[in-house]
């Protein structure tokens, strides 16, 4: 009898572990939905490289997690090419329409959050289709129609609604009910939400994807689809024009990089704020984190203080590098990171205004939309890609007859410099709205390499929780030697400087919280902070893991 109970326990453990981690010899995809990971793994299996697989996964995840991302949004892709031993960064972030202006959301002297979150004005020019096509064109090996096939099939034939989407439908049910184009997909005829396990078909989206697959990105950025995007946006109060769509261009940028623990860590440059993670690595470079012990109060205090300095820099200095000078190299310099480290006290927080390189308010971050995927192939190529329509179901505007849900990325600007956005993040003039400017993003794809070979590809979703989550998973693997699954499962903390709150997950013990409080932190508990997707290699085997907080699944072959 005892033996049988033991066997059942082992079986339960195996089933549980297979749900969020996978091991395979030839390649690996980790994403926020098993069907999207499967689409990418199938591409790897038929000989595609990591870029082919990432593009297939990205299009598929846009279909199966349509509240988080979609072709009405945009993203970032960090690519490591084995044969060239170099990293590349592709920015296909949305841009503000030409008619956008600094105070477009300000009424009676105050930014109106509802305007930058929902309705036509919230919509920035989508970059997803142009970006994925550009990545494939330059570094993929398969035709667009081939890698888009799984997404088209999932949209046309349907798939069972996953737990995450079901939750998002319930959370946004009022908005969905007031929008017939969304209601017809995500609600029953009596306006009750679709529940997990029910089949979701998106025939109009399937047709749109089919046209892009046949004719390439111009099918999206000009002609009938572009006109429908513009007409629907303007009918919802927006200012998009067909010229905005026709002008959209993704941009190849030089990744940021730093050395850490003998590895090279590459990060997406601005308008991503991933640079702040490298700034934290710079602050921690000379600390023996292992000696402090994983998730000990001393370690978590140091991490929180370093994050606060870096987030203060994000708030004050980060923006679109094509529009403002972001002093990222100065921020990452040894001189700056050592100076910041010296200002961190072992058992005490500082005055709020004392954080940040130039040191002389809302709610802490909530988890919203966005989706991340990580891929590695057998030839040593790696991709970390994050994509978003911003908050759940974006602007809640659908381009009529196309199935495209348009983003609300305008809220990622500092809609009124100094006033917090939906994530409680403040921004300065560097992230103020201007025509054709890209809003600052927390999306932070990272790749770590050792001796020129990728060892870890990761990133996440959850607004600014992306930054703290990605950082902690990276440190869990590189410093503490955890496997990807354990690195993701470990409890996390988050401190974005403003508001001045140290957010902790339930797994952080009371004794640790008490000590942190005694150092001066104001603590708040949040049940689950962001969702990270990680792929790593170890002794020639790939491990992929999806964050148990959101329910994705890694698939290898």
Q: How far is the CB of 92 from ligand GLY (least distance, A)?
A: 12
Burial class (CB in 10 A: 0-12, 13-18, 19+), 327: middle
Stretch that binds ligand GLY, among 61-69, 145-153, 392-400, 437-445 (CB under 6 A): 437-445
Q: How far is the CB of 398 from ligand GLY (least distance, A)?
A: 19
349 binds ligand GLY (CB under 6 A): no
Closer residue to ligand GLY in complex, CB, 255/270: 270
Q: Do residues 424 and 496 lie in contact, with contact meaning Cβ atoms separated by under 8 Å? A: yes
d(CA 256, CA 268): 6
Stretch that binds ligand GLY, among 40-48, 101-109, 440-448, 473-481 (CB under 6 A): 440-448
Stretch that binds ligand GLY, among 118-126, 142-150, 371-379, 436-444 (CB under 6 A): 436-444
Closer residue to ligand GLY in complex, CB, 282/445: 445
Sequence-distant (≥ 6) Cβ neighbours of residue 276 within 8 angstroms = 310, 311, 313, 314, 318, 331, 467
390 binds ligand GLY (CB under 6 A): yes
Q: How far is the CB of 390 from ligand GLY (least distance, A)?
A: 4
Sequence-distant (≥ 6) Cβ neighbours of residue 139 within 8 angstroms = 49, 51, 79, 81, 88
- Phi and psi (nearest 5°) for 438? -95, 135
Q: Are strands 371-377 and 382-388 parallel, antiparallel or unpaired?
A: antiparallel
Q: Do residues 212 and 70 lie in contact, with contact meaning Cβ atoms separated by under 8 Å? A: no
Q: Do residues 88 and 78 lie in contact, with contact meaning Cβ atoms separated by under 8 Å? A: yes
Q: What x/- string results for residues 441 through 480 when contact with ligand GLY is judged by CB under 6 A?
A: xxx-------------------x-----------------
Q: How far is the CB of 530 from ligand GLY (least distance, A)?
A: 11
Annotated catalytic residue: which of 370, 391, 470, 537?
A: 370
Closer residue to ligand GLY in complex, CB, 202/390: 390
- From the CB of residue 433, how many other CB atoms can be counted at a distance below 10 Å? 22
128 binds ligand GLY (CB under 6 A): no
Q: Concatenated DSSP letters for 299-357? A: HHHHHHHHHHHHHHHHHHH-S-TTTS---HHHHHSHHHHHHHHHH-BTTBPPPGGG-ST
Closer residue to ligand GLY in complex, CB, 308/314: 314
Q: Is 370 assigned a catalytic role?
A: yes
Q: Are strands 397-399 and 404-406 parallel, antiparallel or unpaired?
A: antiparallel
371 binds ligand GLY (CB under 6 A): no
Stretch that binds ligand GLY, among 113-121, 281-289, 439-447, 498-506 (CB under 6 A): 439-447
Q: How far is the CB of 430 from ligand GLY (least distance, A)?
A: 15
Closer residue to ligand GLY in complex, CB, 523/528: 528
- From the CB of residue 170, how many other CB atoms can be counted at a distance below 10 Å? 13
- Centroid of chain to Cα 356: 24
Q: How far is the CB of 396 from ligand GLY (least distance, A)?
A: 15
Beta bridge partners, 450, equal 453
CA dihedral 469, 472, 478, 482 (to 10 degrees): -90
In the DSSP assignment, the letter for residue 407 is P
Closer residue to ligand GLY in complex, CB, 465/473: 465
Number of residues that bind ligand GLY (CB under 6 A): 9
Q: How far is the CB of 271 from ligand GLY (least distance, A)?
A: 9
Strand order in the sheet with 493-494: 493-494, 502-504, 523-525
Q: What x/- string results for residues 404 through 423 when contact with ligand GLY is judged by CB under 6 A?
A: -----x--x-----------
388 binds ligand GLY (CB under 6 A): yes
Closer residue to ligand GLY in complex, CB, 439/552: 439
Q: How far is the CB of 329 from ligand GLY (least distance, A)?
A: 22
370 binds ligand GLY (CB under 6 A): yes
Provide the 3-class DSSP secondary structure of residue 61. Answer: helix
172 binds ligand GLY (CB under 6 A): no
- Angle, helices 144-157 vs 203-215, to 10°: value is 170
Catalogue the active-site residues.
Answer: 370
Q: What residues line the site for ligand GLY (CB under 6 A)? A: 370, 388, 390, 409, 412, 441-443, 463
């Amino acid at each position: 009898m005892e033996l049988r109970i033991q066997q059942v326990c082992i079986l339960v453990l195996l089933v549980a572990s297979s749900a969020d981690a996978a091991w395979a010899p030839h390649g690996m995809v980790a994403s926020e939905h098993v069907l999207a990971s499967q689409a990418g793994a199938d591409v790897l299996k038929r000989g595609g490289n990591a870029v082919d697989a990432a593009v297939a996964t990205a299009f598929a995840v846009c279909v199966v997690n349509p509240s988080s991302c979609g072709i009405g949004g945009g993203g970032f892709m960090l690519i490591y090419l084995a044969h060239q031993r170099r990293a590349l960064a592709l920015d296909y972030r949305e841009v503000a329409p030409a008619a956008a202006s600094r105070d477009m959301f300000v009424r009676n002297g105050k930014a109106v959050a509802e305007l930058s979150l929902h309705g036509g004005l919230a919509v920035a020019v989508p970059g997803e289709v142009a970006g994925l096509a550009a990545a494939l064109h330059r570094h993929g090996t398969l035709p667009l129609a081939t890698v888009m096939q799984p997404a088209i099939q999932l949209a046309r034939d349907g798939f069972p609604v996953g737990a995450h989407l079901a939750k998002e439908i319930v959370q946004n049910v009022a908005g969905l009910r007031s929008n017939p184009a969304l209601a017809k997909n995500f609600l029953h005829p009596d306006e009750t939400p679709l529940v997990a396990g029910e089949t979701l078909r998106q025939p109009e989206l399937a047709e749109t994807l089919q046209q892009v697959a046949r004719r390439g990105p111009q099918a999206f950025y000009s002609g009938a689809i572009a006109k429908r995007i513009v007409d629907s946006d303007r009918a919802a109060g927006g200012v998009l024009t067909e010229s905005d769509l026709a002008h959209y261009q993704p941009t190849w940028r030089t990744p940021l990089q730093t050395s850490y623990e003998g590895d090279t860590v590459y990060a997406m440059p601005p308008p991503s704020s991933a640079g702040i993670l490298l700034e934290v690595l710079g602050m921690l470079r000379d600390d023996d984190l292992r000696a402090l012990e994983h998730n000990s109060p001393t370690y978590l205090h140091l991490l929180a203080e370093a994050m606060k300095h870096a987030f203060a820099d994000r708030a004050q200095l980060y923006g679109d590098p094509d529009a403002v000078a972001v002093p990222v190299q100065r921020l990452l310099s040894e001189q700056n990171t050592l100076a910041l480290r010296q200002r961190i006290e072992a058992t005490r927080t500082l005055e709020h205004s004392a954080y940040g390189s130039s040191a002389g308010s809302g709610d802490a971050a909530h988890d919203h939309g966005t989706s991340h995927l990580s891929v590695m192939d057998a030839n040593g190529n790696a991709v970390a890609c994050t994509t978003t329509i911003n908050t759940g179901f974006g602007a809640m505007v659908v381009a009529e007859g196309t199935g495209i849900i348009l983003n609300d990325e305008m809220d990622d600007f500092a809609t009124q410099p100094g006033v917090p956005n939906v994530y409680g993040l403040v921004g300065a003039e560097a992230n103020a709205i201007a025509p054709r400017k890209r809003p600052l993003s927390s999306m932070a794809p990272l790749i770590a390499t050792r001796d020129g070979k990728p060892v870890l590809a990761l990133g996440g979703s959850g607004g600014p929780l992306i930054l703290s989550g990605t950082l902690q998973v990276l440190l869990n693997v590189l410093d503490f030697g955890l496997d990807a699954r354990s690195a993701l499962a470990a409890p996390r903390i988050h401190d974005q400087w403003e508001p001045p709150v140290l957010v902790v997950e339930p797994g952080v013990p009371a004794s640790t919280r008490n000590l942190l409080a005694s150092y001066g932190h104001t603590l708040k508990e949040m049940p689950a902070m962001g969702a990270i997707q990680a792929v790593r290699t170890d002794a020639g085997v790939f491990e992929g893991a999806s964050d148990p907080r959101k329910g994705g699944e890694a698939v290898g072959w």
